[in-house]
Amino acid sequence: MEKLLSDEEALVVLQKIMNIFPDAKGELKWDSVFHLLCAVMMSAQTTDKMVNKVTPNFNQKFPDSKSLKNASLSEIESTIKVIGLYRTKAKHLKETATILTDRFNGVVPREKQTLITLPGVGEKTANVVLAEAFQIPAIAVDTHVSRISKLFKIVPAKATPHQIEKRLEEILPQEQWIHAHHALIAFGRYKLPARKKGIDPYSLLS
């Protein structure tokens, strides 16, 4: 049975990671809450850099939910074609834009339980929108957050994203949730990328 860090030990690790990246922040580029939501939906299983290449043209073509709702699926697909899973993402973007236009007057909801009812919006996407757009404390568990949390034995090797989110929320003060999320991503992206095998993660904390 794997030995996990205690709450106190895990907090020390997380504080060190936050200290390494005191200014960590989201790297997706956005100019409105609606475009942030779209960008996060597009970012699943692709890089923020790839999404940032797509969004200037996407944002110009579809300035609001109504314009995206009224666009043809083929037009949306051709606009985001360079990112992975573009057909599924285009379908979800159009469906979500339709719901936002028809039910919410084009305004992105501020409630997590409402956000996750939108097509293509899971906990991670909802949490990013809450944290980035509204500064509502949330921890979005992406591949970096998951991998680093498991490497340091903060969570079990088979923990689900939801379990990781809840564990990190238990350990950290609420006012640190957003920073911790960004710092864990930065640590995973720049200090310990997945391609670096066999490195003691603790050697990177000093």
Q: Which residues are catalytic?
A: 124, 142
Q: How far is CA 96 from CA 26, 42, 48, 60, 107, in A?
A: 22, 12, 21, 18, 11
Single-letter amino acid, residue 139: I
Q: Are 106 and 34 in contact (CB under 8 A)?
A: yes
Q: Which of 74, 119, 112 is nearest to 93 (CA)?
A: 119
Query: In this structure, what token pair is assigned to residue 113?
Result: 């339980």
How many CB atoms within 10 Å of residue 160?
Answer: 12
- Spatial separation of the C-alpha atoms in residues 28 and 57, rounded to whole Å: 14
In the numeric block, the tokens 């992406």 are attached to 142
- Spatial separation of the C-alpha atoms in residues 19 and 23, rounded to whole Å: 9
Q: How far is CA 131 from CA 6, 105, 120, 141, 180, in A?
A: 27, 22, 18, 12, 11
